[in-house]
């Protein structure tokens, strides 16, 4: 299962579990700018910056549905999309609504139009689709999860510099061997550990993440925002995994315990990869998905 949206900030259920404190913190004690990220968040609506999906315009939901199929590999680059009439029939919407959805995708770089031929998936997508071809891609909005971010922390973050191997370089679109800053931390929600986060940031981006920015940022996503490189889009894959010795040690679990691995790439507004990440979730924590059909009444069409 895969999803686009916030980097692992989901509605986790709570379960008491002790996590062993990890040594070598990057910095301890509150910096002078410790309230910066909190102030930035508080400028937004406390709960949700946008209404839930079903309350969004139909053309937005149609666009997100089509984007999910593109990123899942159902519609491959260069492939012709169904006609506007066919999409209107399937979505129980008017052609004008479908055209709005296609215009949204065209503006975002996912679709191109050829006069007299129809609409096609762009030959080069703004972000890399999942490979190998995944199951369904569930789409959503990053700002729907802003309130959840208030409850997440990474108190024992460590960092080191590594050379990107070919796989990591491909994810970040940098040369193999280029320096990458690796951050690792136990992830807490409301003070309770639920997994371990690993973020791989290109050195050119990480240079702006100063010790002061790190100390003021509950997560690396927040650090990227304070450093002037906010995440605009993210594509991630959810797969079953088992805990390795280090992750188990950090979270008071046992090596080999079942886990959930969320692996993905985060992009800035220019569609440049700025973070290749993995969040490994220990057993006992669940992700909630609320799914709604794009069309509710199949007997009527939106005018």
Given the structure tokens 């916030």, which residue do they identify? Answer: 6
Secondary structure (DSSP) of 156-199: T-EEEEEE--HHHHHHHT--TT-EEEEEEEEEEETTEEEEEEEE
Q: Is residue 202 part of a domain?
A: yes
Q: Would 31 be classed as within a structural domain?
A: yes
Q: Say if 43 falls within a structural domain.
A: yes
Question: Quick one: 95 and 225 in the same domain?
Answer: no
* pLDDT for the residue numbered 60: 87
Collapsing DSSP to helix, strand or coil, 84 comes out as helix
pLDDT in tens, 270-285: 999 999 999 999 887 7
pLDDT tens digits, 239-251 = 899 999 998 988 8
Q: What percent of the chain has pLDDT over 90?
A: 44
Listed residues 79, 98, 130: the one ending a domain: 130
Both 153 and 273 in one domain: the answer is yes
CB 66 within 8 A of CB 75: yes
- pLDDT tens digits, 33-43: 445 544 444 44
| 111 lies in the same domain as 167 | no
Which of 130, 162, 177 is a domain's end point? 130
* Same domain, residue pair 60 and 208: no
**302 domain-assigned:** no
Final residue of a structural domain among 130, 152, 177: 130
Same domain, 187 and 247: yes
Do residues 91 and 211 share a domain? no
Please determine, for residue 21, whether its predicted confidence score (pLDDT) is greater than 50. Answer: no
Question: Is 80 exceeded by the pLDDT of residue 185?
Answer: yes
The reply to whether 137 falls in a domain is no
Q: Characterise 47 by phi-psi region: left (phi > 0), alpha (psi -120 to 50), beta (else).
A: alpha
CATH number for the domain harbouring residue 275: 3.40.1410.10
State yes or no: pLDDT of 31 exceeds 60. Answer: no
Residue 161's pLDDT is what? 97
pLDDT at 32: 45
Pair 173, 271 in one domain = yes
Q: Residue 292 falls within a domain, yes or no?
A: no
Please check whether residues 80 and 203 belong to one and the same domain: no
Residue whose C-alpha is closest to residue 137's, from 25, 13, 291: 291
What rounded mean pLDDT belongs to the chain? 78
CATH number at residue 64: 1.10.10.10
| Contact between 207 and 174 (Cβ < 8 Å) | no
Note the pLDDT of residue 290: 61
Same domain, 168 and 270: yes
Mean pLDDT of 24-30: 38
- Report residue 131's pLDDT band, with 50, 70 and 90 as the boundaries: low
Query: Which of the pair, 189 or 219, is modelled with greater confidence?
Result: 219
Output 12 or 168, whichever has higher pLDDT: 168
pLDDT in tens, 97-106: 999 999 999 9
Two structure tokens written together for 239: 């797969």
Domain that holds residue 9: 2-49+142-282
User: What is the phi/psi pair of residue 282, to 5°?
Assistant: -80, 160
Kindly state whether residues 74 and 202 are assigned to the same domain.
no
Residue 132: C-alpha distances to residues 41, 59, 124, 135, 237 (Å): 36, 29, 17, 10, 11
Q: Tell me: do 13 and 85 sit in the same domain.
A: no
Min mean pLDDT across 228-242, 261-275, 281-295 is at: 281-295
Domain assignment present for residue 300? The answer is no
Residues 217, 108: one domain?
Answer: no
Would residue 296 count as lying in a domain?
no
Give the count of domains, the chain.
2
113-122, 138-147, 294-303: range with lowest mean pLDDT = 294-303
Chain CA centroid to CA 45, Å: 20
């Amino acid at each position: 299962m895969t999803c686009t949206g916030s980097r692992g900030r989901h509605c986790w259920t709570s379960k008491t579990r002790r996590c062993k404190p990890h040594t070598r913190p990057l910095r301890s004690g509150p910096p002078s700018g410790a309230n910066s990220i909190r102030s930035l968040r508080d400028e937004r609506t406390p709960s949700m910056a946008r209404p839930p999906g079903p309350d969004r315009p139909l053309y937005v939901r149609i666009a997100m549905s089509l984007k999910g199929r593109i990123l899942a590999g159902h519609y491959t680059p260069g492939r012709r999309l169904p006609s506007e009439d066919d999409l209107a029939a399937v979505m129980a919407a008017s052609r004008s609504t479908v055209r709005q959805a296609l215009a949204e995708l065209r503006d975002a770089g996912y679709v191109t139009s050829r006069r007299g031929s129809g609409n096609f998936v762009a030959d080069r997508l703004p972000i890399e689709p999942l490979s190998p071809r995944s199951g369904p891609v569930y789409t959503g909005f990053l700002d729907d999860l802003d309130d959840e971010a208030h409850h997440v922390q990474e108190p024992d973050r460590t960092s080191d510099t590594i050379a990107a191997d070919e796989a990591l370089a491909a994810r970040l679109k940098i040369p193999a061997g280029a320096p990458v800053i690796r951050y690792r931390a136990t992830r807490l929600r409301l003070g309770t550990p639920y997994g371990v986060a690993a973020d791989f940031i290109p050195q050119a981006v990480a240079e702006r993440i100063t010790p002061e920015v790190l100390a003021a940022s509950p997560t690396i996503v927040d650090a990227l925002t304070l450093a002037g490189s906010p995440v605009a889009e993210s594509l991630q894959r959810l797969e079953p995994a088992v805990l390795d010795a280090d992750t188990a040690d950090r979270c008071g679990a046992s090596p080999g315990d079942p886990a959930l691995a969320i692996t993905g790439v985060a992009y800035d507004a220019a569609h440049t990869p700025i973070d290749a990440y993995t969040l490994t979730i220990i057993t006992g924590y669940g992700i909630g998905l609320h799914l709604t059909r794009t069309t509710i009444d199949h007997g009527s069409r939106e005018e």
